[in-house]
Amino acid sequence: MKRSTVIALFLVLVVVAVISLEVQYDSYDYVGYNPTNNAGVGVVHASFAHALGAYKGPYVVIYVTGQQWHWDFYPHDRTYTNLTVVLFDELVVFVVHSINVFHEFFIQSATSNFSLFNYGAEAVPGYYSYIVLVFPKPGIYHVACAEYCGTATTGLGHSWLVGTIVATTNATYASEITGGVMPEGTWAPNSVSGQGVGGY
């Protein structure tokens, strides 16, 4: 093969790779995925202003950490593994990251495998992504990892990376499940960090 042909093929492959990455990252815009944000929690909070736009109502922030092989949810009065509770019909912001390998935090309504309520965000070590959601009705929502993240010699692995979100109308019940005060906040767009009045 001629040298010019090899160079031309190489350039075509580079262009295809760049376009593929752009399309992939654009597909995550709906959940506010920001693959270049590795500056930490403060920057993620500041980006809420862009994600929420003119919204100034109450919201809840829940941090989600993916690892092999469970999800940690906080802040509550302590970290909860594979379980969190939210109030139905309130805005919730999930701040998602991973401490070891690539995961995908994927939320689906428990009522149907064909539910229209399907949302996911990449959980990437060193980066943060977020999902802004309002749970449309009370009930159980499944959490799974939608990106293969490995196996373990003990039999645990990717298929065990599941969790539950309980959406309820009863704040007292929600607080009892989590053993303390529910995370809460009020959108404060003039705050440097974008943190809620509740301190989250």
Q: Domain residue spans in the chain?
A: 32-186
Return the closest-CA partner of residue 143 out of 95, 101, 82.
82
Return the closest-CA partner of residue 138 out of 168, 174, 107, 108.
168
Return the closest-CA partner of residue 38 out of 47, 29, 25, 50.
47
- pLDDT band at residue 148 under the 50/70/90 scheme: confident
- pLDDT band at residue 20 under the 50/70/90 scheme: low
pLDDT of residue 62 exceeding 80, the answer is: yes
The predicted structure's pLDDT at residue 48 = 54
* Fold annotation for 32-186: Immunoglobulin-like (2.60.40)
pLDDT of residue 22 exceeding 70, the answer is: no
pLDDT of residue 94 exceeding 50, the answer is: yes
| Over residues 134-151, mean pLDDT | 84
The predicted structure's pLDDT at residue 194 = 31
- Angle ∠(190,191,192) on CA atoms, nearest 5: 110
pTM for the structure as a whole: 0.62
